[in-house]
Amino acid sequence: MEEAPRRPRLLHALVALLAAPLTSQSDTGIASAPAGTWYCAGGCAARTGHTRTAPALTEPPTAWEFTLPEGSTFEGEPRVWRDVVLLCEKREGQRVLHLLDLEDGKPFCRPVPFATELPLATAIWGDIIVVRSGPQALRVLRLSRPVVEPVQHFNFSDPVSGHVLYGDELYVAAGKLFRMRPTQPKPLWAAGDGLVGAVSLSGERVLTFRRSNGDTNLRGFLRADGKARGNTELGAFEPDPAQELPMAVGGNRTFVGNGARLFEIQTLNVRAYRCAWLPLNHRSWWIGLEGRQGVLFRQIPGLLDTDTIVLADRKSHPELLSIKFAPSGASDAVYFGNLGFDIRTGNVLWRSKLGTVQRPIPVTGGVLLSPAENRVVVLRHRSGGDWRSRLAHKPASSPLPSTGKHSGAVMITDAGVQKRTTVTVSGSDRDSAKFSFGSGSSKRDLPGKAVTMLLDGKQKPIYWGGTPQAVAQGLTAWIEAQVDTEFIRLAKKSLATNDVPTIQRYMAEITQRGATRSDISEFKRNL
């Protein structure tokens, strides 16, 4: 295969790129981890690095830390499911699984040892935990506090080189690709041969690698029945069976890498690069590096490369260019090492004095950092840490910040360019509210409804700050209250027509990531 490296337009720049829309609803359902979870390497079954966990918009305080004895180190990304944190300890001749309480760091149960030299590659969904307990074995456990109970033990004729758990679907690459249920002894189907490496889900397909005669192909199989669906040649690229995260899937793109080479796969196009870490998929965006530290990913709708947004360069946030591991996404924030970053505005939200030696992991109310190979620290707001969490406890009729006029700062998108300007807010309800952006000849007056659309449409002021603080808090609460009110009305209508599955599904979605106007529109279409 002939490589087709790109010629970057800017050197050393961190960029976010607008990728093509997701190809199906099933892609959307897997692209992000549920709120409060990081259930496998890469956060979710698509390995996107993004979760619906609400971001910490201000620096969270240290909640607790956990340190291993000298001679032991942590291995792989920590896993999180709601209030459970799972850490894999690497000792000589064995691996040990620690299950800790997110609230205070105390153990839920005694550490669980495994006599293996391989990473556990832990996956968790609910109370079910799956680990690679040996070269050719998987073990399924159930967390029944305060103990961990064995559920199943799977043995394979070939080495287990990758697995992923999604709900009650367990996929294992061990020579063949197996689909199993974690609580049942026999596979639902087995397909392929020579399959090795990590497993990822992409909509209706499951992806893994096939090695033959020194060459590697990325193979796709239908999740329903194991029928082959997709085969992409990667040449001499060699997936590392011990590597947890060689693949990230989002929309119609797949990125695969082995720590030295990175391939971008889109439809029939394959491009090769040099890059230290996989890009982050954030909803419809890919975030990666360009220049000597990585590559520039652009949207490829089938014809030409299109726009990119530079998040950092030598003059703006240069510290972001030196990260050696992938960032992680929490809703609309991205954690780059020890700092929180708003990718919509390009603003640093907060910066911790703690460093980290591997990818930060979003948790409810904050983030988990690894300052050393044998130490983890959880930084966390006890109440959830941001206005979305606080808003959940406010009545839906939250007004604007009293009557009269209030001024503050805002970032708006005007003709595709982000600008910082001033905003003056007057009025106390949806109908009477008026907003004035800018001043002098550039001043624009808009009614409240128009600003609501700006907030939730393509052009929207996406960051509030400055003084008085009431502008930021009150306006945000008011906008969210309107969404919540309409959602409740639609929910009641849905219940009245006995459409219980629809309302349950959307209630779960809204609970996980908060309602937006697009959510409401989708809900209407499904009534």
Conformational region of residue 133, where left means phi above 0, alpha means psi within -120 to 50, and beta covers everything else: alpha
User: Which has the closest alpha carbon to 46: 205, 197, 183?
Assistant: 205
Helix (H) or strand (E) holding 91: strand 84-91
Q: Please answer whether residues 238 and 211 qualify as being in contact, where contact means their C-beta atoms are separated by less than 8 angstroms.
A: yes
How far is the C-alpha of 160 from the C-alpha of 171, rounded, in Å? 11
Q: How many CA atoms lie within 13 A of 153 on its CB side?
A: 6
Q: Please answer whether residues 39 and 165 qualify as being in contact, where contact means their C-beta atoms are separated by less than 8 angstroms.
A: yes
Query: Is there a domain that residue 313 lies in?
Result: no
pTM of the model: 0.69
Backbone angles phi, psi at 508, to 5 degrees: -65, -45
Query: Is there a domain that residue 360 lies in?
Result: no
355: which residues sit within 8 A by CB, 6+ positions away?
Answer: 337, 338, 369, 371
Query: Is there a domain that residue 377 lies in?
Result: no
* Domain count along the chain: 1
pLDDT tens for the chain, 527 residues: list them: 333 333 333 334 555 443 322 233 333 345 467 889 999 999 999 998 989 898 998 999 999 999 999 999 999 999 999 999 999 999 988 999 999 999 999 999 999 999 999 999 999 999 999 999 999 999 999 998 888 999 999 999 999 988 999 989 999 999 999 999 999 999 999 999 999 888 999 888 999 999 888 888 889 999 999 999 988 888 777 766 556 667 788 766 787 876 556 667 765 566 665 666 778 887 667 787 765 443 334 333 322 344 456 677 777 777 887 788 889 999 888 999 999 988 777 788 999 999 899 999 999 999 999 999 999 999 998 753 333 333 233 333 333 333 345 444 444 444 444 445 555 555 444 444 455 555 555 555 544 443 433 333 333 332 333 323 333 343 443 344 444 455 555 555 555 555 555 555 555 554 444 445 555 555 555 54
Which of the 8 DSSP states describes residue 518? H
Query: Is there a domain that residue 143 lies in?
Result: no
Query: Is there a domain that residue 520 lies in?
Result: yes
How far is the C-alpha of 299 from the C-alpha of 141, rounded, in Å? 42
What is the three-class DSSP state of 441? helix
Domain membership of residue 474 as a residue range: 394-526
For position 439, what pLDDT does the model report?
Answer: 58
Query: Is there a domain that residue 284 lies in?
Result: no
Identify the bridge partners of residue 95 per DSSP, sorted by sequence position: 90, 114
For position 489, what pLDDT does the model report?
Answer: 58
207: which residues sit within 8 A by CB, 6+ positions away?
Answer: 199, 200, 201, 218, 219, 220, 230, 247, 249, 254
Helix 448-456 × helix 517-526 angle, to 10°: 80
Using a 10 angstrom Cβ sphere, with 0-12 exposed, 13-18 middle and 19 or more buried, the burial of residue 348 is middle
Q: Please list the alpha-helical segments (H only) found in 348-441.
A: 387-391
Which of the 8 DSSP states describes residue 21? P
Helix (H) or strand (E) holding 336: strand 333-336
What tokens were used for 152? Answer: 């199943």
Query: Is there a domain that residue 11 lies in?
Result: no
CA distances to 88, 132, 138, 175, 355 from 161, in Å: 17, 9, 11, 9, 31
Query: Is there a domain that residue 135 lies in?
Result: no
